């Protein structure tokens, strides 16, 4: 059995930032565990640019963004293990892991930071009808094949889902010589960033079918055709609107789910909406001393926000190890209501707030000209105007605890109110 002060599970952007920040806050004995053959996580396959504008004020590709953190981690002498799969985390902060050189490992940590990221929803998760041929892949898997392994995955492609990965793969496949026949989106609006609609679809004249879904997949060994149809308000396909595309590949970009198998094994409470752990202002989960950050908590739009959130987790894990985190104190519940689907963090312990808490949230629909209204025990304490909010774009509100005197609050709620009401 080996002992560490802090063990970080996951060597992607969240894990790297958390480990670096823990070290900056005085913890020496840190281990990062990564199951892939190198650090950097999914950033290594995201070869497009646009990363780092908030953190570095310049536009980087995924591998460039990752490399800056990997260098910093290595220069700090933080230990890491690659090719290492964590099998179990216990609530007593015991980690069981396995790799080809050490065999089975038992690691006792004083604090754990969960940074396992998320995984893609698959064909099974959305029950697409039709035969089961080869050529149906998630967009992220396709991205790895094309950008890292160097395999071309198809020539004529239909993409279901307009999330950012789907849009980026539409451009990537086109650049590599494939023909992208259609991107279809179930909702009446795209789930991706507008900039990606512009530079991945419009630049290459790829049609986007909103309010459409895939209703059939044909083919025995390989995909031969995909049929799409328009859907009504209840998301049911409308007869007579079918379009059949002859193609060899169907890419799925139908959402991401935080990867919380390990969190469940540690008995950590999860939020039904985010599918990630319930966390407090310090990014600590319901298990004392186990922290979480990044896409394992809730799926972020930008890696910059993952980095910011993970720094908070790393700093607080260091505080916990040094016994500086107050646990037996008042808990304020944070709730999203009336159009706000969720808010992270879920709980704020005012005794641990230095000054402000950044609340991250998602809305349930597209709204124009609204206010995000923050209430403490039913009284309005802050209003933020927004011209446009959408489920695909996360909203942030900074709550200054010293200013609002929130120490006596039992519950803080955030809701959407139409302008003028």
Partner 1 sequence: MEARDMVCIVCPLGCKLKVIKNEESQNGYTVEGNKCFRGMNYGITEMTNPTRVLTTTVIISGSSIRRLPVKTSGPIPKHLIEEAMKIINEIEVKTPIKVGQVIIKNILGTGVDVIASRSMFINSEEGYLKDHLA
The residue from 193, 201, 231, 334 that contacts partner 1 (CB under 8 A) is 193
Give yes or no for residue 66 binding partner 1 (CB under 8 A): yes
DSSP 170-208: HHHHHHTT-EEEEEEESSSS-SS-HHHIIIIIGGGT--E
Give yes or no for residue 74 binding partner 1 (CB under 8 A): yes
Binding part of the chain for partner 1, among 74-82, 218-226, 257-265, 327-335 by CB under 8 A, reads 74-82
Which neighbouring-strand residues pair with 332? Answer: 348
Measured CA angle at 348 (ends 343, 351), to 5 deg: 160
Residue 38 or 232: the one with the smaller Cβ distance to partner 1 is 38
| Residue 361 backbone class (left: φ over 0; alpha: ψ -120 to 50; beta: rest) | beta
Task: Give the shortest CB-152-to-partner 1 separation in angstroms.
Answer: 11
> What CA–CA distance (Å, rounded) separates 42 from 168?
14
Distance of CA 16 to the CA centre of its chain: 15
Residue 72 or 415: the one with the smaller Cβ distance to partner 1 is 72
Residue whose entry in the numeric block shows the structure tokens 């909010």: 389
Give yes or no for residue 195 binding partner 1 (CB under 8 A): yes
The residue from 2, 85, 134, 148 that contacts partner 1 (CB under 8 A) is 148
Give yes or no for residue 288 binding partner 1 (CB under 8 A): no
- For residue 373, what are its two tokens? 């209204």
The arrangement of strands across the sheet holding 179-185 comes to 136-138, 249-252, 156-160, 179-185, 208-210
Site string for partner 1, 202-241 (x = CB under 8 A): -x--------------------------------------
Binding part of the chain for partner 1, among 69-77, 100-108, 178-186, 229-237 by CB under 8 A, reads 69-77
- Cβ(179)–Cβ(170) below 8 Å: no
Residue 66 or 266: the one with the smaller Cβ distance to partner 1 is 66
- For residue 23, what are its two tokens? 């070290």
Give yes or no for residue 67 binding partner 1 (CB under 8 A): yes
- For residue 390, what are its two tokens? 């959408």
Give yes or no for residue 354 binding partner 1 (CB under 8 A): no
Q: Which has the closest alpha carbon to 297: 420, 132, 150, 118?
A: 118
Q: Positive or negative CA dihedral for 71, 77, 83, 87?
A: negative
Residue 304 or 415: the one with the smaller Cβ distance to partner 1 is 304
Site string for partner 1, 292-331 (x = CB under 8 A): ---------xx-----------------------------
Binding residues for partner 1, rule: CB under 8 A, are: 37-39, 44, 47-50, 53, 59-64, 66-67, 70-71, 74-75, 82, 146-150, 175-176, 193-195, 197-199, 203, 301-302
């Amino acid at each position: 059995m080996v002992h560490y002060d802090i063990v970080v599970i996951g060597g992607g952007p969240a894990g790297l930032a958390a480990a670096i920040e823990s070290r900056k806050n005085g913890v020496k004995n840190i281990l990062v565990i990564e199951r892939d053959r190198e650090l950097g996580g999914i950033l290594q396959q995201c070869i497009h640019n646009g990363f780092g504008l908030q953190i570095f004020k310049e536009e980087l590709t995924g591998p460039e963004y990752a490399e800056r953190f990997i260098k910093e981690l290595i220069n700090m002498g933080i230990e890491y293990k690659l090719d290492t799969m964590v099998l179990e985390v216990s609530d007593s902060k015991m980690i069981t892991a396995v790799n080809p050189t050490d065999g089975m490992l038992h690691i006792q940590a004083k604090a754990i930071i969960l940074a396992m990221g998320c995984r893609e929803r698959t064909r099974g998760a959305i029950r697409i009808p039709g035969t089961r041929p080869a050529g149906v892949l998630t967009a992220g898997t396709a991205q790895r094949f094309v950008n890292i392994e160097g395999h071309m995955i198809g020539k004529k492609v239909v993409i279901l889902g307009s999330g950012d990965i789907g849009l980026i793969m539409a451009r990537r496949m086109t650049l590599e010589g494939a023909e992208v026949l259609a991107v279809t989106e179930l909702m009446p609006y795209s789930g991706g960033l507008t900039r990606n609609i512009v530079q991945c679809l419009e630049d290459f004249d790829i049609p986007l079918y909103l309010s459409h879904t895939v209703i059939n997949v044909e083919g025995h060994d390989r995909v031969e055709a995909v049929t799409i149809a328009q859907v009504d308000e209840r998301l049911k396909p409308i007869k007579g609107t079918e379009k059949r595309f002859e193609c060899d590949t169907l890419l799925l970009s139908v959402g991401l789910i935080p990867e919380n198998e390990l969190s469940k094994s540690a008995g950590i409470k999860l939020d039904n909406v985010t599918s990630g752990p319930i966390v407090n202002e310090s990014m600590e989960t319901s298990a004392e001393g186990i922290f979480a950050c990044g896409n394992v908590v809730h799926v972020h739009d930008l890696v910059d926000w993952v980095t910011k959130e993970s720094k908070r987790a790393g700093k607080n894990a260091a505080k916990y190890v040094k016994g500086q985190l107050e646990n037996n104190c008042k808990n304020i519940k944070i709730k999203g209501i009336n159009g706000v689907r969720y808010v992270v963090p879920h709980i704020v312990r005012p005794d641990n707030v230095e000054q402000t808490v950044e609340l991250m949230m998602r809305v349930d629909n597209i709204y124009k000209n609204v206010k995000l209204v923050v209430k403490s025990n039913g009284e309005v304490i802050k209003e933020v105007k927004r011209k446009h909010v959408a489920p695909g774009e996360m909203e942030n509100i900074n709550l200054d605890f010293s200013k609002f005197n929130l120490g006596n609050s039992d519950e803080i709620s955030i809701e959407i109110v139409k302008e003028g009401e």
